[in-house]
Amino acid sequence: MAQTVPPDDSSFYLIFASDSLTNNTITCDEIGTRYRIHTPRSPGTSKGSVTSFYRWDREVPQEVLIAELEKGKFSHRVRIAPGLGLDAFGPEVPFVPVTNFFPKNAIYPRTKRTFRASNGSQYIWKYKGDDIQLYSSDDKNRAVARLIQTGYSRSKPMRLKLSQECVDILDEVVVTFMVVEDDREEVTFMVVEDDREEEISYYAVPGAAAGGGGAAAASGGGGCG
């Protein structure tokens, strides 16, 4: 389904209600579209494993399921409505590994993920830290979307600035961006954990002299491999 084009041939914005990757609302006033991201809790756990993406349009005021992202212990899978929009979304739409739909190519210091959109064009998310930009493979010198405000700054909501080229592939932009954000969150978590481990090992050394068994721990007996 074709989206309403933003007025005056201008860029438009996606505004995120929070920095949550599992339960969030994303609005775009310029084209009258809203997304809801919902992850119900799995029985007996504090987290869910399947995140659903819904879209609501001003012209068709009802929520439509457009995608589901299933997070596994070692890999993630995704399924997206065929052609997106209001096309039927049901059990016949299979899950595929995220690496098939949206493969990652990490070359320090920048990571890239690539997908082929429903308009037939290939797009590339490039990201390093808070610098996140989306390019078309047809023009790798001009970003068609970029992160303006990260979710880690509480003074303003997270925002994505997009060109009109993204209007008809907006569903795919939203889903792939959330995968990119998940990548960034995992990297941030790993860095924090590494720093914490370093700090614990550092302060364990004095205890070894006074109490005896700490030296073995400080010398590298327990790291995360």
- Residue 95 domain-assigned? yes
For residue 58, being part of any structural domain is answered with yes
Q: Would 150 be classed as within a structural domain?
A: yes
Q: Which one, of 207, 1, 184, 7, lies nearest residue 110 by Cα?
A: 184
Q: With respect to residue 5, please indicate whether it lies within any of the assigned structural domains.
A: no
Q: What is the pLDDT of residues 203-217, one digit of tens each?
A: 333 334 444 444 333
d(CA 8, CA 57): 20
Please indicate, yes or no, if residue 8 is contained in any of the structural domains: no
Place of tokens 């996140």: 132
Helix (H) or strand (E) holding 112: strand 110-116
List for the chain the helix, strand, coil content (%; round to 5). Answer: 30, 35, 35
Residue type, 97: P
Tokens of 64: 């439509």
Closest CA to 24 of 35, 37, 33: 37
Give per-residue pLDDT as tens, 142-174: 999 999 876 555 567 889 999 999 999 999 999
- Give how many domains the chain has, as a whole number: 1
Burial letters for 111-132: b for 16+ Cβ neighbours within 10 Å, e otherwise?
A: bbbbbebbeeeebebbbeeeeb
Per-residue model confidence (pLDDT) at position 163: 95
In a domain, 127, yes or no: yes
Domain assignment present for 223: no
User: Whole domain around residue 127: which residue ranges?
Assistant: 13-187
In this predicted structure, which of 22-26, 27-31, 78-82 has the lowest mean pLDDT? 78-82
Q: What is the pLDDT of residues 105-125, one digit of tens each?
A: 887 777 899 999 988 899 999
pTM over 0.85: no
* Confidence category of residue 47, pLDDT binned at 50, 70, 90: low
Whether 180 is in a domain gets the answer yes
Question: CA 114, CA 103: separation in Å to the nearest integer?
Answer: 6
In angstroms, how far is the first alpha carbon of the chain from the final one? 48
pLDDT of 154 reads 57
Residue that is written with structure tokens 């792939």 in the block: 176
Q: Report the distance separating Cα 200 and Cα 198, nearest Å.
A: 6
Q: Is residue 103 reached through a cis peptide bond, with omega within 30 degrees of 0 on the bond before it?
A: no
- Beta-carbon contacts of 96 under 8 Å, excluding residues fewer than 6 positions away, are 77, 78, 79
